[in-house]
């Protein structure tokens, strides 16, 4: 029988994890930290060490850990049932809210993870066009499907549009179904779409790729070219949806795709993701409308489950309140200013890349426009900086700060102090 949770240190848990988990972790984040509890904008590890949390579950905890209103909604639902494998009112209402908020969304289909959502979006594009090829952008993250794991983080740089598999176990046939272009190169994107138009089903892109904002006119060009050639434009908004703005990246940048994928925020911390888009494309989920040949089969045991739905509904209600997004942007701007100021103080080449709600420092003098610019930056210095922040009680992803609505003035002040201390060691490499 498993040992009791009581009176165990983080070292004890790490030893136990090493026996039963590959690489000692879940495959998500640094396995050397075991989180015990989260409240608001902070988390505590199993040794009781407190951290200001800029990881926030890799994005979903946009209103903070254990928000009392979300907790109340979830607690009420738990007494009514966890999941039914059938439609429920909260899931229907959440779909209505998503359609009201998201420019491209006329209909919604639920899944449990962003990886599933992206996989099904690409499958819908193929069903709708009758073509097989997908165009993605080098460095773009679209989950864990075979197509998505093409040129996500290649260390071997091939000539475009040749993809590089990021994982063992992906068949050559999958590699042959994807072509790759550099993010933010408008001329290249136009030319590659025109060249492969008769084989392309769709183009999938993060409107803000990891941290890199779209160059002026880039997303507009993708919209123009996909429309011209009858392709499906997919915005992967699993990260950016309800984060960059209430209507996501498509609201912020003013470009409306045919489909988008959503996740993280819409489940309020519970497993929930979705494909949303035009009715004529979403109709491929309805065999009565498209027939056997056009039908895109999709089921999921927990898709649209009521616990995640009520958590998502309450989270989105909170996000609609006045001042929420302004507050998160203010938080981000204060931290960005500290990052820029401290890097300059210690004379280390650096720039902050991203948006005030989603950003990080990149240690390079060069302009950052695409994946290869990030790859050429000083990764060792970033690792050193992140370690320094962790020692000072600031938790973040390896390449990302997530601002959230629960970060307080005290959190920001402590983070600014931690940045200054961590910066003092940047020249020790």
Round to whole Å and give the CA distance between 365 and 264: 33
C-alpha R_g of the chain:
22
What kind and span of H or E run contains 351? Answer: strand 351-355
Round to whole Å and give the CA distance between 425 and 428: 6
Among 45, 118, 236, 258, the one annotated catalytic: 236
- Beta-carbon contacts of residue 204 (< 8 Å; ≥ 6 apart): 118, 121, 122, 125, 134, 135, 136, 140, 142, 234, 236
- Number of neighbouring beta carbons within 10 Å of residue 425: 15
Pick left, alpha or beta for residue 288 (phi over 0 → left; psi -120 to 50 → alpha; otherwise beta).
alpha
> Is the bond preceding 154 in cis, omega lying within 30 degrees of 0?
no
Active-site residue flag, 264: yes
Structural contact between residues 32 and 238, judged by C-beta atoms closer than 8 angstroms? no
Burial of 286 (0-12, 13-18, 19+ CB in 10 A): middle
Active-site residue flag, 396: no
Among 120, 185, 264, 402, the one annotated catalytic: 264
Collapsing DSSP states into helix, strand and coil, what is residue 151?
coil
Pick left, alpha or beta for residue 5 (phi over 0 → left; psi -120 to 50 → alpha; otherwise beta).
alpha
- Beta-carbon contacts of residue 143 (< 8 Å; ≥ 6 apart): 113, 114, 115, 116, 117, 118, 119, 238
Among 141, 253, 325, 371, the one annotated catalytic: 141
Active-site residue flag, 236: yes
Q: Considering only CA atoms, which of 145, 138, 97 is closest in space to residue 121? A: 145
Q: Give the per-residue SS3 of 86-115.
A: CCCHHHHHHHHHHHHHCCCCCEEEEECCHH
Give catalytic residue positions: 141, 236, 264
């Amino acid at each position: 029988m498993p040992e009791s949770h009581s009176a165990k240190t983080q070292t004890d848990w790490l030893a136990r994890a090493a026996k039963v988990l590959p690489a000692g972790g879940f495959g998500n984040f640094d396995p050397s930290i075991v989180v015990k509890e989260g409240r608001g904008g902070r988390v505590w590890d199993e040794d009781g060490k407190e951290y200001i949390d800029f990881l926030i579950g890799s994005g979903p905890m946009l209103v903070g850990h254990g928000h009392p209103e979300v907790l109340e909604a979830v607690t009420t639902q738990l007494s009514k049932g966890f999941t039914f494998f059938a439609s429920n009112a909260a899931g229907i209402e959440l779909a209505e809210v998503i359609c009201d908020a998201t420019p491209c969304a006329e209909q919604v289909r639920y899944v449990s993870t962003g990886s599933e959502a992206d996989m099904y979006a690409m499958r819908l594009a193929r069903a709708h066009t009758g073509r097989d090829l997908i165009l993605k952008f080098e460095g773009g993250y679209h989950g864990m499907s075979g197509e998505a794991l093409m040129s996500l983080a290649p260390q071997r740089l091939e000539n475009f549009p040749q993809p590089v598999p990021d994982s063992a176990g992906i068949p050559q046939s999958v590699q042959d179904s994807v072509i790759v272009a550099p993010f933010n190169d408008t001329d290249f994107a136009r030319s590659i779409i025109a060249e492969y138009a008769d084989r392309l089903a769709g183009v999938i892109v993060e409107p803000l790729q990891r941290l890199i904002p779209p160059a002026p006119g880039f997303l507009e060009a993708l919209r123009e070219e996909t429309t011209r050639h009858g392709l499906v434009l997919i915005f992967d908004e699993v990260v950016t949806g309800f984060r960059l703005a209430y209507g996501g990246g498509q609201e912020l940048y003013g470009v409306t795709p045919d489909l988008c994928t959503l996740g993280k925020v819409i489940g309020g911390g519970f497993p929930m993701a979705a494909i949303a888009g035009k009715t004529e494309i979403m109709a491929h989920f309805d065999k009565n409308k498209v027939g056997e040949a056009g039908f895109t089969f999709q089921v999921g045991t927990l898709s649209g489950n009521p616990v995640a739905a009520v958590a998502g509904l309450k989270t989105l209600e909170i996000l609609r309140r006045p001042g929420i997004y302004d507050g998160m942007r203010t938080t981000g701007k204060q931290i960005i200013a500290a990052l820029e100021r401290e890097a300059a103080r210690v004379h280390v080449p650096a720039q902050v890349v991203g948006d005030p709600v989603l950003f990080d420092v990149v240690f390079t003098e060069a302009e950052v426009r695409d994946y290869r610019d990030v790859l050429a930056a000083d990764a060792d210095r970033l690792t050193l900086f992140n370690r320094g922040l962790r020692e000072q009680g600031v938790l973040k992803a390896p390449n990302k700060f997530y601002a959230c609505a629960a970060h307080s003035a005290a959190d920001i002040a402590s983070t600014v102090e931690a940045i200054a201390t961590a910066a003092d060691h940047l020249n020790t490499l």
